[in-house]
Chain A
Amino acid sequence: QQKVQQSPESLIVPEGGMASLNCTSSDRNVDYFWWYRQHSGKSPKMLMSIFSNGEKEEGRFTVHLNKASLHTSLHIRDSQPSDSALYLCAAYQGGRALIFGTGTTVSVSP
């Protein structure tokens, strides 16, 4: 069973709209979360990290983390066509490696 669950599997967002992506870990030993973005035919690139409870904003991107429920979410406001990509959530358990979810495919329609 996948230890990192992401939803939805895919999302269509109008240009200028808001995209909201969710991620939950079933492993209570997880310490930190990262979000990666992968454009088609490219390698994953780290987008944002969040280590403590609360919210973190960088430009049009905001991440939230609730450590008690091991849930993180990524919100993209004013979505642009260049935001069309696969978004991967990754959970880090101390002493191990990053475990990734199956991803959410975001398509921004002009």
Chain B
Amino acid sequence: EAAVTQSPRNKVTVTGGNVTLSCRQTNSHNYMYWYRQDTGHGLRLIHYSYGAGNLQIGDVPDGYKATRTTQEDFFLLLELASPSQTSLYFCASSGDIQAPLFGEGTRLSVL
């Protein structure tokens, strides 16, 4: 069964802290994405990748780094977390011209 698994599901950190969000897909999909969801803004694309070692910049990349280490694994890094990065983060994966399949989300709070 197609799956996208995110970890952790919840995370609390302090301003200036380092955070890594993890995402693994077992769907043999080429594309993986990181979105953030905030009330009034819908889903906003942070970074995406179309294969191991590839990284593409999305619409709201400032303050975020990402790395695709393997076909299955995509990480989102916040090196100096700020309260404005408090949000619900979704990872998704897809094949070419396919609807992305979303993970269950990671709720991040930056105090």
Q: Which residues of A contact B (CB under 8 A)?
A: 2, 4, 6, 32, 34, 36, 42-46, 49, 88, 90, 92, 94, 96-103
Contact = CB atoms under 8 A, between A and B. Distances in A.
Chain A interface main SS type: strand
Interface residue range, chain B:
20 to 34
Chain B interface main SS type: strand
B106 to A, nearest CB: 11
Contacts of B97: 32, 92, 94
A98 B100 contact: yes
Contacts of B58: 97
Contacts of B99: 34, 36, 46, 49, 90, 98
Interface string B100-111: 111111000000
Interface in B1-51: 31, 33, 35, 40-45, 48
B44 A100 contact: yes
Given A34-B99, A97-B56, A97-B58, A44 B31 contact: no
Contact of A102 (B35, B41, B56, B105): B41
Nearest to A97: B48
B77 to A, nearest CB: 19
Contact of B104 (A34, A43, A46, A100): A43
A100 to B, nearest CB: 4
B62 interface: no
Given A97-B31, A100-B35, A43 B42 contact: no
Given A32-B97, A92-B97, A97-B56, A43 B103 contact: yes
A2 B41 CA distance: 9
B74 interface: no
Contacts of A103: 42
B75 interface: no
Contact of A97 (B33, B42, B90, B104): B33
